[in-house]
Structure 1
């Protein structure tokens, strides 16, 4: 971006080489060179969002919104959450940083709330807030939620990775319109032990095999002495020999 507000854009081919030549600076001193630098445009808001809390049952969301400008910024904060995040709307609260003006009231930051409750396995939660942040201060937006327990068929193959939560969308209204997005989040839900059915099948099959083998031995196997077993074997040999002779005759 040049000082006159004009800019130049170039499209570079990814499969070819290019040579970038920068013009020599005409500044005679370091101060003059610093004046030629174009500072980046300061954004209206800085937004950051993260999960809070611990455990597999409850959790929380915290959004940190910073206004670095010397004037107020009005915007709309929108979150689309999955149905397994059951939001407790009564826990929604705002807290303003200590660097704000003394007459700033954290309860007056939210001007309007639009909330649509989620329906299990049908639609997610929609939370939309119209807010106004005083100049040069930071606002902390927090709320709590409950983690739902899914059916085992609703988990993806990589269930231990977690579930993606879409980024929050921020649309500034004053002093100018601008769209911002926070980073997406990764939510961990209570995950069952998917190897348990396999363990149950192996254990049950082993128990049945042991029980069946013992019962079969009791009902079928007959214990005899060594001499009795040899005599019975000789009788069977004589009978088989007689049968062969009768067939030949």
Structure 2
């Protein structure tokens, strides 16, 4: 039977790990797949350059050939790391809101001040 172990990340910005141990008979294929839910990150969990994406560490596969006495250590395989681009929030939105609000307040105050001054001096 297969044995598996999942180690969740201690904080959401770090990676979790998934470990699966199983035995395959000779000349067989294995397909590993799992379902997952997409989740949104909190704003503080994004790295400083969120538009670059998130790096996943390379997967590591260790193959132990049973009965191989000439090389008792498992053969190690590493795949290249992966860069995942997540949709990033619009970090400029607070600036846009402040700019628009300040512009509206300035226009209203300018119009109000203009009405007060014109009545007094006309």
Same fold (TM over 0.5): yes
State the Cα RMSD in Å: 2.4
Contact 1:149 1:189 (8 Å CA) reproduced:
no
- Residues 23-51 of structure 1: CA distance to partner in whole angstroms, max 9, x if unpaired? xxxxxxxxxxxxxxxxxxxxxxxxxxxxx
User: Runs in 1 of length 4+ with deviation above 6 angstroms?
Assistant: none
Residue 16 of structure 2 is aligned to residue 125 of structure 1: yes
Unaligned runs of 5+ in 1: 1-109, 225-249
TM-score (norm 1): 0.41
CA distance in 2, matches of 1:144, 1:185: 19
Q: Which residue of 2 aligns with 1:161?
A: 52
Q: CA deviation at 1:130?
A: 0.8
User: Match for 1:192 among 81, 89, 93?
Assistant: 89
TM-score (norm 2): 0.76
Q: CA deviation at 1:186?
A: 1.9
Unaligned runs of 5+ in 2: 67-71
SS in 1 for 2:90: coil
Larger Rg: 1
After TM superposition, the structure 1 = structure 2 runs for residues 1-249 of structure 1, keeping only pairs within 5 Å, are 111-121=2-12, 124-175=15-66, 176=72, 177-222=74-119, 224=122
Total equivalences in the alignment: 115
- Residues 180-214 of structure 1: CA distance to partner in whole angstroms, max 9, x if unpaired? 11221222333101121221122111101100001
